[in-house]
C-alpha cells in the first residue's frame, strides 16, 4: 500500500485530508502531535510521504521535518502551512521539506502534490542496503530475492528481472517492447509474447488473486504497470 502520514492537530482538517487521500488510493496514518508523528514513522518505516502541519502544540512541524530527515533521507515531506510568509517556506525547505501547500487548499491540489512527490520518491526506490521495499513486497538486489509479507517467493532469473524493472518504476505503464528490451535484451530474437507468458506466471506468484490482479495490472493495447 502507498503509505502517507498526515500530521495535523485540527481534527476537521486532518479528516478532510485523510478522506481525500484515501479516495485517491493512499493508505493514511494519522498523528495529531509532532511526537506522535515521529512514533508513527518509527513504527512504519515504509511511509513514503509525510504531510506535516507547521503550527502544533509541542514540537512544531519544522522540528518534526528536521528529525524525520535526519533519520531518513528518502521520505518525501510536504509542509501544510497556514502562514504564507516567504520566510516560513524558506525555513521549511531548509529543514528538509520537499514541498509545501498553503491552507486553505483544494483536495485536487493536495492530491496532485502528494502524487507528484510519491512518484519522485519512487524514482529512486533503492535503499542503501540494496533493498526495494514496496509493501508487502521486499526485493533484495544483492541476493536477487523477493519476499511478500516476509515470505520468500521463488522466482526464475527472468521473473526476478521483470520484478526489479517493475519495482524500480512503480506506477509507470511499461510497454511490452520496453519490458522485452530491458529484460531479454535488445538482440532477443523471439516474440514479444514471451513477456505475457512471464507476466502470467509472475501473477500466479505475487498476486493475492491472480484472476483479478491488483499489483501487475494490464494497460490495454500497451503493456503492464506495477502499481497500487
Ligand atoms: Ca495546526
User: pLDDT digits over 168-210, tens only?
Assistant: 888 888 999 999 988 888 777 788 888 998 999 999 999 999 9
Reduced to 3 states (helix: H, G, I; strand: E, B; else coil), residue 68 is helix
Q: What are the grid coordinates assigned to 218, written together?
A: 494490464
The protein residues having their C-beta less than 5 angstroms from ligand 1 (an ion) are: 9, 53, 55
Inform me whether the pLDDT recorded for 41 exceeds 90: yes
The DSSP secondary-structure symbol of 207 reads -
Segment 28-57 shows an average pLDDT of: 94
Higher pLDDT, 19 or 189: 19
pTM: 0.55
Cα–Cα distance between 30 and 211 in angstroms, integer? Answer: 34
Residues contacting 73, CB < 8 A, separation 6+: none
pLDDT digits (tens, 9 = 90+) for 145-178: 999 999 999 988 889 999 999 998 888 889 999 9
Q: What are the grid coordinates assigned to 197, written together?
A: 507468458
- What's the chain's Rg over C-alpha atoms? 20
Residue 43 alpha carbon to ligand 1 centre in Å: 23
> Average pLDDT over the chain, rounded to whole?
87
Of 170, 191, 166, 172, nearest to 180 by C-alpha is: 191
Give pLDDT, residue 214.
Answer: 93
Q: Which of 34-38, 40-44, 45-49 has the highest mean pLDDT?
A: 34-38
Residue 22 alpha carbon to ligand 1 centre in Å: 21
Residue 165 alpha carbon to ligand 1 centre in Å: 41
Task: Answer for the pair 23, 5: CB distance below 8 angstroms, yes or no.
Answer: no
Inform me whether the pLDDT recorded for 92 exceeds 80: no
Residue 95 alpha carbon to ligand 1 centre in Å: 18
Task: Answer for the pair 134, 121: CB distance below 8 angstroms, yes or no.
Answer: no
Task: Answer for the pair 132, 139: CB distance below 8 angstroms, yes or no.
Answer: yes
Residue 199 alpha carbon to ligand 1 centre in Å: 47
Of 81, 75, 73, nearest to 29 by C-alpha is: 75
Residue 23 alpha carbon to ligand 1 centre in Å: 23
Inform me whether the pLDDT recorded for 67 exceeds 80: yes
Task: Answer for the pair 170, 122: CB distance below 8 angstroms, yes or no.
Answer: yes
Residue 65 alpha carbon to ligand 1 centre in Å: 15
Inform me whether the pLDDT recorded for 49 exceeds 50: yes
Residue bearing cell 521463488: 154
Higher pLDDT, 129 or 216: 216
Residue bearing cell 485517491: 24
Residue 60 alpha carbon to ligand 1 centre in Å: 9
Q: Which residues of 148-172 are buried (b: 16+ CB within 10 A; e: fewer)?
A: beeeebebeebbbbbbbbbbbbbeb
Residue 51 alpha carbon to ligand 1 centre in Å: 12
End-to-end, the C-alpha distance of the chain in Å comes to 6
Residue 29 alpha carbon to ligand 1 centre in Å: 17
Cα–Cα distance between 51 and 114 in angstroms, integer? Answer: 9
Task: Provide the 10 A C-beta neighbour count for residue 190.
Answer: 9
Residue 81 alpha carbon to ligand 1 centre in Å: 8
Amino acid at each position: 500500500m502507498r503509505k502517507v502520514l498526515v500530521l495535523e492537530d485540527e481534527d476537521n482538517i486532518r479528516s478532510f485530508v485523510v478522506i481525500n487521500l484515501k479516495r485517491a488510493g493512499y493508505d493514511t496514518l494519522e498523528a495529531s502531535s509532532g511526537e506522535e508523528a515521529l512514533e508513527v514513522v518509527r513504527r512504519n518505516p515504509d511511509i513514503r510521504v509525510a504531510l506535516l502541519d507547521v503550527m502544533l502544540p509541542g514540537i512544531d512541524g519544522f522540528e518534526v521535518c528536521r528529525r524525520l530527515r535526519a533519520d531518513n533521507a528518502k521520505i518525501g515531506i510536504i509542509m501544510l502551512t497556514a502562514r504564507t510568509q516567504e520566510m516560513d517556506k524558506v525555513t521549511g525547505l531548509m529543514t528538509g521539506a520537499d514541498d509545501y501547500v498553503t491552507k486553505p487548499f483544494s483536495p485536487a491540489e493536495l492530491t496532485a502534490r502528494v502524487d507528484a512527490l510519491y512518484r519522485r520518491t519512487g524514482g529512486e526506490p533503492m535503499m542503501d542496503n540494496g533493498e526495494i521495499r514496496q509493501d508487502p513486497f521486499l526485493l533484495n538486489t544483492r541476493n536477487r530475492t523477493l519476499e511478500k509479507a516476509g515470505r520468500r517467493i521463488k522466482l526464475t532469473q527472468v521473473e526476478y528481472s521483470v520484478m526489479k524493472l517493475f519495482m524500480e518504476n512503480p506506477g509507470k505503464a511499461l510497454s511490452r517492447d520496453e519490458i522485452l528490451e530491458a529484460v531479454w535484451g535488445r538482440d532477443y530474437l523471439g516474440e514479444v509474447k514471451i513477456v505475457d507468458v512471464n507476466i502470467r506466471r509472475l501473477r500466479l506468484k505475487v498476486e493475492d488473486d491472480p484472476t483479478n490482479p491488483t499489483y501487475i495490472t494490464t494497460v490495454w493495447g500497451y503493456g503492464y504497470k506495477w502499481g497500487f
